[in-house]
Structure 1
């Protein structure tokens, strides 16, 4: 059985078993936390809530409290399908809706609650054929539970995000900066970060993966008395700790942005070739958080993932460079008051 179903079957199950599937990437996996929290809040500790993802993104799933077991695969979900089938799940909650997750659904042969990805509508936004913002991915994910009469936990929508204190020394008061992004269209340029750091009399902690070590090191070298570089030095759980305890979090449209949102940090998110209208804006963010978008590049996102910039193809700079360091500094100052 598949798609929308009646919740009557579930009430005949004494201890319902769920397997949630989201294989990538960091931010999208973190955005599954409200779904886990909704299920756990509704069905209690008796329910079994497991999660499957790719090996390289296990750390993101480990941030989410309320998960009983995390299963990982290197590439194909059917690698582990026999083991999952033996667990006797009642429902697959498919939060990816791709070839891999659909193959898993066919292998498990259980009721599947599948998120609507809205790819066509997202593409229409990029092409200018649609101007209506896409519903947030978290809200779409939570809608998969409607047939079970499950809604999000309004008192604690994100649940508890698992954090661990880094062994590295960090300042008592600081601004956290997520230096990296998958594509340059979503990454705050190093020069702008340098200008922001120079303009503020605050300590900064730079976080990111090993691919951002060079940028983090450069920022620390330029401002050694103000910058602590932790790029490539801490894991996601420790990154969540940094975000939890910062005065303000700064970053682009990245996984770190969603971690900062999940832990309730006051966030300044800087958008470039992607836009919040694509349905991936911070969900239930700290109410003081601010979103900065390019002012002189129209309302259309250039691409769904930030890998293309229509203005750069015409010889101009990336959209994200349209947001000046002065604008970012003013936003941070307003949140520090």
Structure 2
């Protein structure tokens, strides 16, 4: 069960037999769920809507602990009592009683054939390889300021494809203007699956705390994860799976996080910096990030 706008990222998953999508009215979905006569309810959201479904179905439930108290203490009082168990692993632990265990292979993402991006759809200057830079995010405090993104993309000496939604198009144009040959603005030109395929085709990924960060993990791409108002301390850092990580001779990802006292300031990001300085992003050392990019490319 998920919202209709997530259909594009779920419909091609071969491990799920049936989907129930909804927009606003859960009652229709609940009626359909009752017809199925499921034995269990697994609730990995634990919110008002999922609670409504659980109450309506009256089946044995397995519900994730969202650690709201610990997250409040961390984001509001800088008291860190998080268990250091990744959200993916906590989700799996929720259903351990059903003999569901981690296979160690990490995340999956499935792209339908019609969303595979043809080489003719990207510039020939990028056909020999490119870095995917994800410039979007849902909230202001998750994103590098435009001038920082410009500095980063200007200093990286390698073809770049900018990824984001239509709302990131103008920001992408401001970055691309610095070097239209090296930097290709794909924001708003591709749907989510197509953008995911560009991540799959890339040499490495630079991303804010967004879904694309985890899609990069699913495709086992080298990753620089840049953190602002959120933080890996919330147990949401990149996740590749233990078996894959154990096979690596060098780190496949790195968290770029300043670990300021005020960081993280929220669970999901906010529209403004609560302290009005935005130091978590404004103080990011772009030269150091560029050197990390160069180091990663030298390993290929």
TM value normalised by structure 2: 0.87
Asked whether the equivalents of residues 240 and 263 of structure 1 are also in contact (C-alpha less than 8 Å), the reply is no
The residue matched to 2:20 in structure 1 has which SS? strand
Distance 1:265 1:319, change over 3 A: same
Which of these residues, 169, 176, 189, is aligned with residue 122 of structure 2?
A: 169
1:153 Cα deviation from its structure 2 partner: 1.1
Which of these residues, 18, 25, 44, is aligned with residue 95 of structure 1?
A: 44
1:78 Cα deviation from its structure 2 partner: 2.6
Asked whether the equivalents of residues 161 and 263 of structure 1 are also in contact (C-alpha less than 8 Å), the reply is no
Q: CA RMSD in A?
A: 2.0
The residue matched to 2:205 in structure 1 has which SS? strand
Asked whether the equivalents of residues 62 and 95 of structure 2 are also in contact (C-alpha less than 8 Å), the reply is yes
The residue matched to 1:268 in structure 2 has which SS? strand
1:190 aligned partner: 146
Asked whether the equivalents of residues 179 and 207 of structure 1 are also in contact (C-alpha less than 8 Å), the reply is yes
Asked whether the equivalents of residues 55 and 73 of structure 1 are also in contact (C-alpha less than 8 Å), the reply is yes
1:250 Cα deviation from its structure 2 partner: 0.5
Q: Matches of 2:291 and 2:14 in 1, distance apart? A: 35
Matched, 1:181 2:132: no
Q: Matches of 1:228 and 1:70 in 2, distance apart? A: 36
Which of these residues, 6, 22, 28, is aligned with residue 79 of structure 1?
A: 28
Tell which has more relative contact order, 1 or 2 (C-alpha 8 A, sep 6+): 2
Q: Matches of 2:163 and 2:62 in 1, distance apart? A: 35
Distance 1:310 1:160, change over 3 A: closer
1:137 Cα deviation from its structure 2 partner: 1.1
1:130 Cα deviation from its structure 2 partner: 2.4
Q: Matches of 2:225 and 2:58 in 1, distance apart? A: 41
1:329 Cα deviation from its structure 2 partner: 0.6
Matched, 1:214 2:170: yes
Which of these residues, 96, 102, 114, is aligned with residue 63 of structure 2?
A: 114
TM value normalised by structure 1: 0.78
The residue matched to 1:80 in structure 2 has which SS? helix
- The CA deviation string for residues 215-246 of structure 1, in whole angstroms up to 9 with x for no partner, is 12222233210111111111121122111121
1:178 Cα deviation from its structure 2 partner: 0.7
The residue matched to 2:24 in structure 1 has which SS? coil
1:40 aligned partner: none
Q: What 5-or-longer segments of structure 1 have no aligned partner?
A: 1-51
1:190 Cα deviation from its structure 2 partner: 1.6
Q: What 5-or-longer segments of structure 2 have no aligned partner?
A: 246-250
Matched, 1:332 2:293: yes
- The CA deviation string for residues 47-90 of structure 1, in whole angstroms up to 9 with x for no partner, is xxxxx111122223236442223221112433311112212222
Which of these residues, 194, 199, 202, is aligned with residue 243 of structure 1?
A: 199
1:12 aligned partner: none
1:260 aligned partner: 216
1:298 Cα deviation from its structure 2 partner: 2.5
1:320 Cα deviation from its structure 2 partner: 1.5
